[in-house]
Chain A
Amino acid sequence: YGRIPASPAVRRLLREHDLALEAVPGSGKEGRVLKEDVLRHLEQGGEST
């Protein structure tokens, strides 16, 4: 399918903050990025790409 698995909520957060999925460390199954990972990343002043 070619897309890194991520949920609709994660994709939306990423879109809204111009973030790439690859830029966010994931804590879910097999490194999957969860909504809370994106929130944490943003809180810690995560870089926009």
Chain B
Amino acid sequence: MADKFDVIVIGAGPGGYVAAIRAAQLGLKTACVEKWIGKEGKVVFGGTCLNVGCIPSKALLEASHKFVEAKHDFSDMGIEAGDVSMDVKKMMARKDKIVSNLTGGIAGLFKANGVTGIEGTGKVVGAKQVEVTDKDGKATTYEADNIVIAAGSVPVEIPPTPLTEGLIVDSTGALEFQDVPKRLGVIGAGVIGLELGSVWSRLGSEVTVLEAMDSFLPMVDSAIAKETQKLLKKQGLDIKLGARVTGSEVKGKEVVVKYSDAEGEQEMTFDKLIVCVGRRPYTKGVVADGVGVGLDERGFIHVDDQCRTSVPGVYAIGDCVRGQMLAHKASEEGIMVADIIAGHKAEMNYDAIPCVIYTFPEVAWVGMTEQDAKAKGIEVKTGSFPFAASGRAMANNATEGQAKIIADAETDRILGMHIVGQHAGEMIAQGVIALEFGSSAEDLALTCYAHPTMSEAVHEAALAVEGHAIHMANRKKRK
């Protein structure tokens, strides 16, 4: 008879491992099941984010950005670095080392908190039963008073471009190229496509991004999206909007992609093609038929605001449920669920989840966009400040972008913050805190910001909401 647990978590990604650690901290006897086999042939914790997502992509973005700076920006600063070159294999090895450090770190945290790691594929077979099948096919059934499903997501595949080893790849494959493709095609101008396209473009690929939608980053505030599109185009990303991929043909070591746009049928030849049109919940086979956990039509596990499924005691969090597919969203849901299981009245604020795109410059936002507010019929005031007017940005050689604040015209409550610029992902935390505290724009305007810092652009944007920015001429505010 296998052990009985207070909580069994299925999946050790950002949702699952955080839920497990939190539950253990709250005194619950907790196990976490994971099947992911790492490069060394052993089960690794960390899920998509640590193994093939957030962390490795950031490692490559950072390395490729430094390379570009050395190649193009250093001489203006007086640094003569000579002919700078990139050893792609070494860059990849560094990324792999970071990944293995972090996944090992989670194993260490499990140990420190008394979480039992179980290796194998977990399946909910009853309201209080999880069956785990190990790599040898041996199944063990564990009893648990509570079950947390954190099974995550996988890349969406599309019929016109079936994955072909080393040629047509998904985001995972795009993090593994051992040399720079001369001509790189990217399908999908979303967050993942722009980040991966950036990495290889910086290292010398001619990158074409094919996006079926007519609008660029529709979830981003349109002023910010417009500026971002310009900046990425200037960097050499050829982003084609309204381009629907209809087919592909592998010819030797090349792939010919057919797509249709406003001008009709088009064709392009690439050395590598990355398919990143989106991700879908990984829920197939995670719950046995008859348990009663409901899925929606897109395969997401159906949950309420507290991540409860239709079966009492069974919860689901992260990418396999509704909401934004973001690591920090999954982790916060994990904490909420662990707290609920431990008897607390926990809830989560879904209105203050930040989003970041780690291009250069970074794009980050939280809360409503101006178009969101308009659609809701809310009258807003906005304030923007360009980094071109920031002393720190000039010193940093990073004068692209702007910070923008959207406030309710009546109450002055901040509804959204949107930044494109160096370190936008770090700066957006201010917007998150502002939303959490119910801050008005004036609150930020009255706050003392260190000088010279990039964050001063947020301060100035808050001042600009009332037409009181100091370091730029203010637009006339309508009274």
By a beta-carbon cutoff of 8 Å, the part of chain A in contact with chain B is: 7-10, 12, 28-29, 32, 34-36, 39
A8 to B448, CA, bound (A): 11
Contact of B437 among A12, A29, A36, A39 (CB under 8 A): A29
Are B413 and A34 within 8 A (Cβ)? Answer: yes
Contacts A29-B436, A29-B437 given; indicate if A9 touches B442 (C-beta within 8 A).
Answer: yes
Contact of A35 among B436, B440, B447 (CB under 8 A): B440
Contact of B438 among A8, A12, A29, A39 (CB under 8 A): A29
A34 to B442, CA, bound (A): 12
Are B413 and A12 within 8 A (Cβ)? Answer: no
The answer to the question of B134 belonging to the interface, with a C-beta cut-off of 8 Å to chain A, is: no
By a beta-carbon cutoff of 8 Å, the part of chain B in contact with chain A is: 411-413, 436-440, 442-443, 446-447
Contact of B411 among A8, A10, A32, A36 (CB under 8 A): A36
Are A35 and B443 within 8 A (Cβ)? Answer: yes
A7 to B437, CA, bound (A): 8
Q: Please, which residues of chain B bring their CB within 8 A of the CB of A32?
A: 437-438
- Besides the known contacts A7-B440, A36-B411, 4 further A-B residue pairs in the complex with CB atoms under 8 A apart: A9-B440, A34-B438, A35-B411, A36-B412
Are B446 and A28 within 8 A (Cβ)? Answer: no
Q: Please, which residues of chain A bring their CB within 8 A of the CB of B440?
A: 7, 9, 34-36
A32 to B439, CA, bound (A): 11
Are B443 and A8 within 8 A (Cβ)? Answer: yes
Q: Please, which residues of chain A bring their CB within 8 A of the CB of B443?
A: 7-10, 35
Contact of A8 among B413, B436, B446 (CB under 8 A): B446
Q: Please, which residues of chain B bring their CB within 8 A of the CB of A29?
A: 436-438
Are A9 and B412 within 8 A (Cβ)? Answer: yes
Interface centre among A9, A32, A36, A39 (most CB of B within 10 A): A9
A39 to B440, CA, bound (A): 12
Are B442 and A35 within 8 A (Cβ)? Answer: yes
Contacts A7-B440, A9-B440, A28-B437 given; indicate if A39 touches B411 (C-beta within 8 A).
Answer: yes
* Residue on A nearest B448 in the bound complex, by CB: A8
CB of B411, distance to nearest CB on chain A (Å): 4
* Residue on A nearest B440 in the bound complex, by CB: A35
Contact sample, A vs B, 15 pairs, CB 8 Å cutoff: A7-B437, A7-B439, A9-B412, A10-B443, A29-B436, A29-B437, A29-B438, A32-B438, A34-B413, A34-B440, A35-B411, A35-B442, A35-B443, A36-B412, A39-B411
Contact of B447 among A8, A10, A28 (CB under 8 A): A8
A43 to B436, CA, bound (A): 25
* Residue on A nearest B446 in the bound complex, by CB: A8
Q: Please, which residues of chain A bring their CB within 8 A of the CB of B412?
A: 9, 35-36
* Residue on B nearest A36 in the bound complex, by CB: B411
A8 to B174, CA, bound (A): 48
A34 to B407, CA, bound (A): 14
A34 to B213, CA, bound (A): 41
CB of B201, distance to nearest CB on chain A (Å): 43
CB of B441, distance to nearest CB on chain A (Å): 9
A35 to B434, CA, bound (A): 13
Are A36 and B446 within 8 A (Cβ)? Answer: no
A32 to B438, CA, bound (A): 9
* Residue on B nearest A28 in the bound complex, by CB: B438
- The 3 A-B residue pairs with the shortest CB-CB distance, nearest first, are A8-B446, A36-B411, A9-B442
A43 to B120, CA, bound (A): 63
Interface centre among A8, A12, A39 (most CB of B within 10 A): A8
* Residue on A nearest B410 in the bound complex, by CB: A36
Q: Please, which residues of chain A bring their CB within 8 A of the CB of B438?
A: 28-29, 32, 34
Q: Please, which residues of chain B bring their CB within 8 A of the CB of A7?
A: 437, 439-440, 443
A34 to B413, CA, bound (A): 9
A35 to B437, CA, bound (A): 11
Contacts A9-B440, A28-B437, A29-B438 given; indicate if A35 touches B413 (C-beta within 8 A).
Answer: yes
